[in-house]
Structure 1
Amino acid sequence: MAGEDDQEDRTEEPSLRRLEQAIEKGDIAKSQEVNTWFVLAGGTLALVAVADSSASSLKVMLGGLLAQAGRVSAEPGAVKVYGEYGLWAGLSALAFPLGILMLAGLAGGMVQHKPSLSTQPLAPQLSRISPLSGFKRVFGKEALVQFLKGLLKLGVVGVAIYMAVWPEMARLESFATMDVAMLLQATKAEAVTLMKAVLIIYAAIAGGDYVYQRFTWYNRQRMTKQEVKDEHKETDGNPEIKAKIRQLRAKQARQRMMSKVPTATVVVMNPTHFAVALQYEPGMAAPQCVAKGLDAVALRIRAMAEENDVPVVENPPLARALYKAVELDQDIPVEHYKAVAEVIGYVMRLRRRRY
């Protein structure tokens, strides 16, 4: 029940990292039916392509031995030699068909997932020896699915065999009167027909099972909300720490900005909401923004300007326009040259009068 409750809590889609970790641990979506189909296809290919040549090769290699069977010595050494010769002849004849079957089995796995090597599935797990886990494996949902799938395979494949063999029933009766050579050829032809029918039907079974296994595997990787949060913390960092870092950086940026206010030529303000500190010296292409702020920051800029005898000019429209149009350490836009020049000219005249 605990496992089912835990699965019910997994309401979030698995992340790419979660899927990659599952594959690294050897937990992959794999259908045994796909592997079985490839092995059946490999067996059919071997039967069609190399059965005759393998049989001929075995006949040539063992023909002489069988023809001389009456002259074979009963000595232990001779029996051993003949036995090794017969074994080698059999293996040589079967090597190519067995090679096709092995490659077919490997292909069945590779078409489902990329090759991966993991020792995790071999690690000891207490759940494997738990009576409760064993009961769930035998009587659980997956066991029921496998049982029903087995019945479906037996029924469908049985129907396919019946449909392939029944039209040939009259011909099969003649097999009893055939000589050995003709009987082998006729049996091979019937076997190929039968295998083709099974492959066509089994392809649908294997395809359906792969979709089911993929769906089951994907659902098994689903995450709880807490797992999503934990993964975000691992990959992107703790949000609280990141917020603290952003606050510190913003504070440091404000401190650097405020330190430039005493160097400003003039501060243009809306009385309480906007403040833009501009710096202009002979030789500069245009006045630059060295500080700007809203509300409380604007009031701090004004206070620091007054403490350092930087003129403060109240011009609400210009202050709002400059705040939106210019960034820190940038020249003011061309469209504001005239208005800013009038302000700076006013400040220069005030200074000349003062001194």
Structure 2
Amino acid sequence: MYLSLDLQYFAQEKTEKATPKKKKESRDKGQVAKSSDVNTAIILLFSFLFFMFIGSYMVEQLFIMAQFTFTEYLLTDLSEENVGAMLTEFLVQMAITMAPIMLVIILAAIFSNYLQVGFLFAPEAIKMKLEKIDPIKGFKRIFSIRALVEFLKSMLKITLVGIVTGGVLWFFLEDLLRLGLYSIEEGMSLIGNLIAIMGLGVALLLIFLSILDYMYQKYDHEKNIKMSKQDVKDEYKKSEGDPLIKSKIKEKQRQMAMSRMMQEVPKADVVITNPTHYAIALKYDDSNMDAPLIVAKGVDFIALKVINVAKNNDIMTVENRPLARALYDQAEIGDQVPEDLFKAVAEVLAYVYRIQRKI
């Protein structure tokens, strides 16, 4: 008893790099190499840079709002209209104060995404799919190598962030111990500067880690979209067409071209031969042609077919080996005879016309 096995099942290991078509399809689905750490790092960097340069403006606005509240609203009657007006005023002032930092965060988020994947609109990535809420697949995602890598990355980031912030606090320890001797304004300025320095330090650290993470995400993405050799072959067939079908189409085209050429042979004036290896059929009409025209040509088997068609239709054949070879090499079907062969072809046609007049 024998069992038949399809050997292609043993070659389905995905070892080939993704083709440009496969990469484009993955990109259209929203499957791209992207690190969320890059977004976090760039947003933190832009935010704390903003606080360093524009933070004094925000603090000033908050002080103005607090001062206005204690001077104008402290003795105001608590009526429904007054409370509504106060809330509206507070919301407007908070919006004016927070709008710049929110704008910076939005621009940083857009920039970080564009830096990684460029411009990408992939509506398929946000489509509702039942497989996304499959508990079995969710369990596999939680307990997987990728989840372990993410956990180790998180622990490493927490450790390094703690080291950076602890280092900044240690460097400014003397100033912090003297904080009780400072005025409120000086103390707040010191605390604000420390927060900005720690934020920038953490942001720079996360940018370094995010570059490593992006390299890993790119490697992992390239690995996930790898293709098997059979996948590459199937894609080639879809894009270029089945080679067998293409060969049949070409064969059919050759047959049709051969048929059209053979239909022109009976209209020729003469067929110049080699005598059996080459055959070139010429036609000339002095009323509408400047030079003789090549209506058919061929070598070996096709040459024999041209000669047989010519004989069956009483078309003269003239043996001239050098001329037949030169015409075959220098001109194509539908071309006029080259100028350097005019004299030789003219002699052949004159000979043919003399024989036909005698007949």
Q: Same fold (TM over 0.5)?
A: yes
Give the fraction of aligned pairs with identical amino acids, expressed as a percent. 32
The SS at the match of 1:277 is strand
Residue 56 of structure 2 corresponds to residue 56 of structure 1: no
* Map of 1:205 onto structure 2: 209
CA distance in 2 between counterparts of 1:349 and 1:64 reads 120
Residue 287 of structure 2 corresponds to residue 278 of structure 1: no
Moved more, 176-185 or 66-75: 66-75
Match of 1:125 among 110, 129, 148: 129
Match of 1:352 among 336, 344, 357: 357
Q: Let me know the Cα RMSD of the aligned residues.
A: 2.9
Question: Structure 1's 297 and 6: CA in aligned 2 closer, same or farther, altered over 3 A?
Answer: closer
Amino acid across the alignment from 1:289: I
Unaligned runs of 5+ in 2: 1-8
CA distance in 1 between counterparts of 2:227 and 2:96 reads 53
Question: Structure 1's 51 and 6: CA in aligned 2 closer, same or farther, altered over 3 A?
Answer: farther
> Do the aligned partners of 1:275 and 1:293 also contact (CA within 8 Å) in 2?
yes
* Map of 2:13 onto structure 1: 9
Residue 178 of structure 2 corresponds to residue 157 of structure 1: no
Question: Structure 1's 316 and 175: CA in aligned 2 closer, same or farther, altered over 3 A?
Answer: same
Residue by residue over 1:252-303, the C-alpha shift from the partner in whole angstroms, topping out at 9 and shown as x without a partner, is 2111111111121211222332211122333543322110112221111010
CA distance in 1 between counterparts of 2:307 and 2:87 reads 107
The SS at the match of 2:172 is helix
Deviation of the 1:38 alpha carbon? 1.8
The SS at the match of 1:327 is coil
Amino acid across the alignment from 2:173: M
The SS at the match of 2:178 is helix
Higher RCO, 1 vs 2 (CA within 8 Å, ≥6 residues apart)? 2
The SS at the match of 1:312 is strand
> Do the aligned partners of 2:270 and 2:318 also contact (CA within 8 Å) in 1?
yes
> Do the aligned partners of 1:50 and 1:97 also contact (CA within 8 Å) in 2?
no
CA distance in 2 between counterparts of 1:17 and 1:298 reads 45
Deviation of the 1:179 alpha carbon? 1.8
> Do the aligned partners of 1:275 and 1:319 also contact (CA within 8 Å) in 2?
yes
* Map of 1:335 onto structure 2: 340
CA distance in 2 between counterparts of 1:186 and 1:7 reads 66
Amino acid across the alignment from 2:346: A
CA distance in 2 between counterparts of 1:269 and 1:35 reads 77
- TM-score under structure 1 length normalisation: 0.86
Deviation of the 1:44 alpha carbon? 0.5
> Do the aligned partners of 1:62 and 1:89 also contact (CA within 8 Å) in 2?
no
Match of 2:309 among 304, 307, 331: 304
Amino acid across the alignment from 1:272: T
CA distance in 1 between counterparts of 2:323 and 2:187 reads 104
* Map of 2:3 onto structure 1: none
Question: Structure 1's 310 and 70: CA in aligned 2 closer, same or farther, altered over 3 A?
Answer: closer
Residue 274 of structure 2 corresponds to residue 266 of structure 1: no
* Map of 1:196 onto structure 2: 200
* Map of 1:289 onto structure 2: 294
Amino acid across the alignment from 2:225: Q
Amino acid across the alignment from 2:39: N
Question: Structure 1's 205 and 344: CA in aligned 2 closer, same or farther, altered over 3 A?
Answer: same
The SS at the match of 1:268 is strand
Residue by residue over 1:227-246, the C-alpha shift from the partner in whole angstroms, topping out at 9 and shown as x without a partner, is 43444444444444433332
* Map of 1:228 onto structure 2: 232
Deviation of the 1:196 alpha carbon? 2.5
* Map of 1:250 onto structure 2: 254
The SS at the match of 2:31 is coil
* Map of 2:96 onto structure 1: 92
Moved more, 199-208 or 179-188: 199-208
Amino acid across the alignment from 2:306: I
Residue by residue over 1:127-149, the C-alpha shift from the partner in whole angstroms, topping out at 9 and shown as x without a partner, is 33444422331222221221222
Deviation of the 1:37 alpha carbon? 1.3
- TM-score under structure 2 length normalisation: 0.85
Amino acid across the alignment from 1:41: L
Match of 1:134 among 138, 145, 168: 138
Aligned residue pair count? 350
Deviation of the 1:205 alpha carbon? 1.4
Deviation of the 1:336 alpha carbon? 2.4
CA distance in 1 between counterparts of 2:67 and 2:149 reads 51
CA distance in 2 between counterparts of 1:225 and 1:302 reads 49
Match of 2:325 among 316, 320, 328: 320
Deviation of the 1:126 alpha carbon? 4.2
Question: Structure 1's 299 and 66: CA in aligned 2 closer, same or farther, altered over 3 A?
Answer: same
Question: Structure 1's 236 and 7: CA in aligned 2 closer, same or farther, altered over 3 A?
Answer: closer
Moved more, 255-264 or 16-25: 16-25
The SS at the match of 1:271 is coil
CA distance in 1 between counterparts of 2:11 and 2:62 reads 57
Amino acid across the alignment from 2:324: A
The SS at the match of 1:192 is helix
Unaligned runs of 5+ in 1: none
CA distance in 2 between counterparts of 1:26 and 1:6 reads 31
* Map of 2:32 onto structure 1: 28
Amino acid across the alignment from 2:202: V
